[in-house]
Amino acid sequence: MASPYKILAINPGSTSTKIAVFEDEKELFRQNIEHSSTEIAKYKTIAEQYDFREKAVLAFLADNNLSAKDLSAVVARGGTLGALKGGAYRVNAAMVDDLTYRPSSQHASNVAAIIAYEIAKSVSIPAYIYDAVCVDELEDIARISGMPAIPRFSHAHTLNMRAAGRKLAAQLGKDYASLNLVIAHLGGGITVSMHHNGRMIDVMPDDDGPFSPERAGRVSCRLLIDECYSGKYDHETMRKMLRGKGGLVAYLGTNNAIEVQEKIKNGDKEAELVFHALAYQIAKAIGDLSTVVKGKVDGIILTGGLAHSKMLTDWVKERVDFIAPFYVLPGENELESLALGTLRVLRGEETAHEYVG
C-alpha cells in the first residue's frame, strides 16, 4: 500500500454522523449528516442504527464520486469497549461482536467501528479506531476513590485532547511525549486531563469535574443520594438532571454559549455569574491536575467548541497562567485526528494494537 493514502473517517454523534475523506494530511470532502430525534428514537440500541448510518456513509462516498475501492483504510471513532490503550486498534470480528452485544454503555460511537469494519472488509483494506473514549492510562494511585466499590476510571475526550497535545508540541518543535500538559476539552461535556510521557495519567471525567453547557459535573454525593431517594424523581429523570439538563441548561435554560454571552452583554447578572463560575471550575480542575506532576507543567491547553469563547478562555487564563504557558486551540478536530492517527499507522510510524475482547 503506497502513498498517497485515502482515508475515510467516521464519527457518529447522538443525532448526527460526521464523515470526511482525507488524502494523506489533506481533507478532500466533509459532511455532517443530521438525524432527526424521531428517526433515532426508532432504535432501542446504538448497534441497531447500523443500517441507516452505513447507508448515509455510502451515499456520501457516491455523492463525491468515490467508492470503497478508492480507499486505503477506514477509521472510526472508538466506542465503549472497556479500558483500552491509547492509539490505534485494528477493528476485528471480536470488537464488532463486543460493540454489538456487550458495549459497556450505549454511546453513538459504538456503531462507527461496525460500519468501518464492514466497508473495509468488502474491499480487503484495514479498519481502525483511534484514541477511543474508553482509553484508560491512569496510574494506580489515580484509581483510588475512597470507595472501593467505585474506583476512579478514565472516560474522556481522548481523541481531541491528545490531538491538541500533539498539535501544540509540533508548534513548539518538541516531542509530545516529552511534555507535561494539562488539557481541557470544553464541549457539551467537559473533561480535563494530565498528559505525561505521552500518556493520560489522570483525568477528570465529565461527572467528576466542572459543570458544562448541559452536564452537572461534580456535585455533593450526600445531597445527590438524598435527591435520589426523595421520591420526587425516577432513575431516568435523575440521569437527565446530571447529563442533558444540568449545567448552563439548568441555570439559564440554554446550552448555547453564544446566547449566554449575549445575555451578559445585555446586563444579565445571573448569566454573568454562572458563566464566570464555569470558568472558575475549569480553572480549579486545571490547578487540581497540576499537582499530579508536582507543578512541573509545560503547558495548559483549552480545546473543544466552547474554547471559541474568548470571554470564557480569558477568565480561565487569568486564574491559571501562573502555573504554565497558556494556549487556546479551539474546535473539536475529531475527523482530522482520526485520519492523522491512521496515517501514522499506514506510514509505519505507529503500530496498531490487536483487540482481543
Q: What's the mean pLDDT in 158-176? A: 94
- Does some domain include residue 83? yes
pLDDT beyond 90 at 51:
no
pLDDT at 123: 95
Q: Are residues 214 and 302 in the same domain?
A: yes
C-alpha angle 202/208/210, rounded to 5°?
105
3-class DSSP state of 306: helix
| Minimum mean pLDDT range among 39-43, 65-69, 150-154, 280-284 | 39-43
pLDDT at 251: 97
- Which set of grid coordinates corresponds to residue 66? 468515490
Cis peptide leading into residue 210 (ω within 30°): no
Q: Are residues 165 and 270 in the same domain?
A: yes
Q: Are residues 345 and 318 in the same domain?
A: no
Q: What's the mean pLDDT in 187-206? A: 94
Q: Are residues 100 and 191 in the same domain?
A: no
pLDDT at 14: 66
pLDDT beyond 70 at 37:
no
Q: Residue 160, exposed/middle/buried by CB under 10 A (0-12, 13-18, 19+)?
A: buried
Instruction: Give the confidence band of 83 by pLDDT, cuts at 50, 70, 90.
Output: confident
- Does some domain include residue 39? yes
- Of 298, 305, 292, 301, give the one whose Cα is nearest residue 332: 305
Q: How far is CA 117 from the centre of its chain?
A: 21
Q: How far is CA 136 from the centre of its chain?
A: 13
Q: Are residues 302 and 347 in the same domain?
A: no
pLDDT at 13: 76
- Does some domain include residue 145? no
- Sign of the CA dihedral 158, 133, 9, 307? negative
pLDDT at 100: 87
Q: What's the mean pLDDT in 116-122? A: 95
Domain count within the chain: 2
- Sign of the CA dihedral 316, 317, 318, 323? positive
% of the chain with per-residue pLDDT over 70: 98
Q: Are residues 288 and 256 in the same domain?
A: yes
Burial 317-354 (b: 16+ CB within 10 A, else e): beebeebbebbbbbebbbbbbbbbbbbbbbeeeeebee
| Minimum mean pLDDT range among 31-45, 127-141, 331-345 | 31-45
pLDDT beyond 90 at 120:
yes
Q: What's the mean pLDDT in 148-152? A: 94
Distance (Å, whole) CA 71 – CA 87 = 21
pLDDT at 300: 98
Q: Are residues 103 and 198 in the same domain?
A: no
In tens, the pLDDT along 217-268 reads 999 999 999 999 999 999 999 999 998 899 999 999 999 999 999 999 999 9
pLDDT at 1: 58
Q: Are residues 211 and 308 in the same domain?
A: yes
Which CATH number does the domain housing residue 85 bear?
Answer: 3.30.420.40
- Does some domain include residue 152? no
- Does some domain include residue 307? yes
Instruction: Give the confidence band of 31 by pLDDT, cuts at 50, 70, 90.
Output: very high
- Does some domain include residue 117? yes
Q: Are residues 170 and 221 in the same domain?
A: yes
- Does some domain include residue 297? yes
Q: Which residue has the higher pLDDT, 36 or 127?
A: 127
pLDDT beyond 80 at 108:
no
- Does some domain include residue 106? yes
pLDDT beyond 90 at 30:
yes
Q: Are residues 257 and 303 in the same domain?
A: yes
Q: Are residues 174 and 127 in the same domain?
A: no
- Of 20, 49, 21, give the one whose Cα is nearest residue 36: 49
pLDDT at 2: 65
Q: What is the pTM of this model?
A: 0.86
pLDDT at 124: 96
Q: Are residues 195 and 215 in the same domain?
A: yes
Query: What Rg do the C-alpha atoms of the chain give, in angstroms?
Result: 20
Distance (Å, whole) CA 313 – CA 310 = 5
pLDDT at 340: 94
Phi, psi dihedral angles at 293 (to 5 degrees): -105, 25
Q: Containing domain of residue 77, as a range?
A: 6-135+335-354
Q: CB-based contacts of 110: which residues, under 8 Å, 6+ apart?
A: 46, 47, 79, 80, 99, 103
- Of 180, 187, 192, give the one whose Cα is nearest residue 248: 187
Q: How many CB atoms lie within 10 A of CB 71?
A: 20
pLDDT at 88: 95
Sequence-ordered strand ranges (E) for the chain: 6-13, 16-23, 26-34, 73-77, 88-90, 127-130, 180-186, 190-196, 199-204, 299-304, 326-330, 353-354
Q: What's the mean pLDDT in 284-289? A: 98
Distance (Å, whole) CA 303 – CA 284 = 16
What angle in degrees, to the nearest 10, is found between the helix axes of 110-122 and 50-63? 50
Q: Which residue has the higher pLDDT, 156 or 196?
A: 196
